[in-house]
């Protein structure tokens, strides 16, 4: 719970004039009494929870799936550090392709709802 609150607090701090919308799964740290109480005290923070056991509706899962099966599919890291470096590099590359990310989001959040 503490890490979730710290993270959300940092987001609010870095965007002092904006209302923030956050979508989270229902992992215990996200839904604890402590976290929910803190969220309720933040008028600029609007949190929506995904249904339980619904990774297909989570845009992050689409990004990780694409990273694993497309971006990293032809690479074999020999060490943990090499895997971290390669993953970071591929994520940075994906971040420079907003159409790709929009497409992953669309497939997740629109096509799953409307067929």
Walk along the chain (115 residues) in steps of 10 and give the mean pLDDT of each run: 97 96 93 98 96 81 91 93 96 93 74 51
Q: Is the pTM of this model over 0.75?
A: no
| pLDDT in the model for residue 112 | 52
Supply the pLDDT for residue 74. Answer: 92
Q: CA-to-CA distance for 94 and 97, rounded, in angstroms?
A: 5
The pLDDT assigned to 72 comes to 94
């Amino acid at each position: 719970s503490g890490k979730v609150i710290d993270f959300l607090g940092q987001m609010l701090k870095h965007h002092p004039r904006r209302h923030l919308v956050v979508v989270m799964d229902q992992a215990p740290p996200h839904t604890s009494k402590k976290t929910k109480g803190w969220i309720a005290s933040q008028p600029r923070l609007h949190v929506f929870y995904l249904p339980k056991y619904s990774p297909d509706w989570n845009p992050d899962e689409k990004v990780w799936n694409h990273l694993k099966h497309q971006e990293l599919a032809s690479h074999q890291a020999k060490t943990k550090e090499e895997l971290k470096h390669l993953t970071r590099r591929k994520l940075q590359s994906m971040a420079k392709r907003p159409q790709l990310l929009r497409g992953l989001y669309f497939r997740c959040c629109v096509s799953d709802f409307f067929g």
